[in-house]
A and B are shown apart, each in its own frame.
Chain A
Amino acid sequence: MGNSGSKGLSEQDKAILQLKLQRDNLHKAQTRINLVIEKENQVARQLLRNGQKERAKLALRKKRYQESLIKQVFGQMDTLEQLISTIEFKLIEKDVLYGLQEGNKVLGQLNNEMSLDKVDKILDESDEAIRYQEEITDLLGTRMNQADETAVEEELEALERETKKTVVLPDVPTVRVGVEDDKETRNEQKEDKPLQTQKTPVAA
């Protein structure tokens, strides 16, 4: 659409206009013929009321002729409408083709900017960068190992201290066990109370 818009009115536009004007003329003819048909219908009814059967028949013959005319008009209208639609769709197809062409041009330009030599160069640089990174990783790995060793030694010392503390533990549990026994007895007392409360509603 942008293409045809920038150019203004094209020869195709003028051709479509002519076809549409012809279609409009047929539409007007259709309207006129419909009016004539309706009029002949009314005339026929009036003549029948007046008892003029032969003249009524004549009016109806005119009506049938007009109806055959309008069928021709409909046919011509259909033909024109189809032709108009076909042309308009062809214009759309033309725009689509133009779009594809432009797309191909752009793609070609982009491909030109990406030559194979450039790609190889970039890949080589990438490989070098990867190798450099691996060396860095190795160096960091060795240092980390040293750091880990010192950490392990510290953990050993900590464990030794903890083992000494555990020797003191046997004296403490006797007091704790006693506290736990008291808690258990309290729980039993608590359990008795709800049983008593359950009995009273049964009595009720």
Chain B
Amino acid sequence: MSSFEFPSIYNFPPFFTKQPNNSVWKSQLQQWTTLVLDYCKHYRIWRLSTAGTPIVEDATGVPSDSLFTNSIIDRHLKPEVCQEIIASLVDQGRAQWIDKTAQKSVLVLWYSISEWSDLLLNWVDSTGQKGVVLTLYEIQHGNLTLSEEFHSIDETTLTQALELLEKKGKVLMMKENKNVVGVKFI
């Protein structure tokens, strides 16, 4: 996997300090949130801690250090600023708290749930799999999805996208012990 190309502002020391001027801070916050989303999309990071470290099961090719630390210029964001950036992502609908009370990590949505559901629908159409029973596993890890954006997608994100499609009447859910194990697109 190729290395993520950071924007030039990432090497600008003041970028790692919350600016006192309110309008400057808003701009800074927007740039940080954009950076987080682009970074996670590049490395296909589905979960991120508030410290900025990826939460991955198999860490092949994904950097393990914090996104909020730049060792080249020896700068890092303070924990409370990190928290504000992550909270801003949640407010924008680009992230979800994994545990709302603890607020220590988030599900990163570089595509929204609605966009994921559209991508799934298009894939099923283009592969001629309407009316076919599909398991969540084959959607996540199957050969047919290798070139799709949602290959290796987090199960929680996938389930939410499918639930959205279910409400629209596009999908029938197959459950075992209240867990979704399969779907059928109709």
Question: Are B137 and A1 in contact, CB atoms less than 8 angstroms apart?
Answer: no
Complex interface: chain A residues within 8 A of B138 (CB): 20, 24
Q: Is B9 an interface residue (CB 8 A)?
A: no
**Chain A residue total in the interface (Cβ 8 A):** 15
Question: Are B131 and A20 in contact, CB atoms less than 8 angstroms apart?
Answer: no
Q: Is A64 an interface residue (CB 8 A)?
A: no
Question: Are B130 and A20 in contact, CB atoms less than 8 angstroms apart?
Answer: no
A residues 6-33 in Cβ contact with B at 8 Å = 8-9, 13-14, 16-17, 20-21, 24, 27-28
Q: Is A88 an interface residue (CB 8 A)?
A: yes
Q: Is A104 an interface residue (CB 8 A)?
A: no
Q: Is A51 an interface residue (CB 8 A)?
A: no
Question: Are A24 and B130 in contact, CB atoms less than 8 angstroms apart?
Answer: no
Q: Is B133 an interface residue (CB 8 A)?
A: yes
Complex interface: chain A residues within 8 A of B181 (CB): 17, 21
Q: How far is the CA of A14 from the CA of B135 in the complex (A)?
A: 11
Question: Are A13 and B184 in contact, CB atoms less than 8 angstroms apart?
Answer: yes
Complex interface: chain A residues within 8 A of B56 (CB): none
Question: Are B135 and A9 in contact, CB atoms less than 8 angstroms apart?
Answer: no
**Chain B residue total in the interface (Cβ 8 A):** 15
Q: Is A4 an interface residue (CB 8 A)?
A: yes
Closest CB in chain A relative to B27 CB, distance in Å: 45
Question: Are A5 and B131 in contact, CB atoms less than 8 angstroms apart?
Answer: yes
Question: Are A1 and B130 in contact, CB atoms less than 8 angstroms apart?
Answer: yes
Q: Is B186 an interface residue (CB 8 A)?
A: yes
Question: Are B133 and A16 in contact, CB atoms less than 8 angstroms apart?
Answer: yes
Q: How far is the CA of A1 from the CA of B181 in the complex (A)?
A: 22
Question: Are B186 and A5 in contact, CB atoms less than 8 angstroms apart?
Answer: yes
Question: Are B137 and A17 in contact, CB atoms less than 8 angstroms apart?
Answer: no
Complex interface: chain B residues within 8 A of A21 (CB): 135, 137, 181-182
Given the interface pairs A4-B131, A17-B182, the reply to whether A27 lies near B174 with Cβ below 8 Å is: no
Closest CB in chain B relative to A121 CB, distance in Å: 47
Given the interface pairs A13-B174, A20-B182, A21-B182, the reply to whether A27 lies near B141 with Cβ below 8 Å is: yes
Complex interface: chain B residues within 8 A of A17 (CB): 133, 135, 174, 181-182
Complex interface: chain B residues within 8 A of A27 (CB): 137, 141
Closest CB in chain A relative to B138 CB, distance in Å: 7
Q: Is B37 an interface residue (CB 8 A)?
A: no
Q: How far is the CA of A14 from the CA of B183 in the complex (A)?
A: 10
B residues 131-177 in Cβ contact with A at 8 Å = 131-135, 137-138, 141, 172, 174
Closest CB in chain A relative to B103 CB, distance in Å: 32
Q: Tell which of B134, B141, B184 touches A9, judged by Cβ atoms closer than 8 Å.
A: B184
The 8 A CB mask of B75-111 against A (1 = contact, 0 = none) is: 0000000000000000000000000000000000000
Q: How far is the CA of A28 from the CA of B135 in the complex (A)?
A: 13
Closest CB in chain A relative to B137 CB, distance in Å: 4
Closest to A92 in B: B131
Closest CB in chain A relative to B167 CB, distance in Å: 16
Complex interface: chain A residues within 8 A of B172 (CB): 8-9
Complex interface: chain A residues within 8 A of B134 (CB): 20
> 7 A-B pairs, CB-CB below 8 angstroms?
A9-B174, A9-B184, A13-B184, A20-B133, A20-B134, A20-B182, A21-B182
**Given A17-B133, A21-B137, A88-B132, 10 further pairs, Cβ under 8 A:** A1-B131, A8-B172, A17-B135, A17-B181, A17-B182, A20-B133, A20-B134, A21-B182, A27-B141, A28-B137
> What are the 9 tightest A-B residue pairs by CB atom distance, in nearest-first order?
A24-B137, A17-B182, A1-B131, A16-B133, A20-B135, A5-B186, A13-B133, A17-B133, A17-B174
Residues of A within 8 A of B (CB): 1, 4-5, 8-9, 13-14, 16-17, 20-21, 24, 27-28, 88
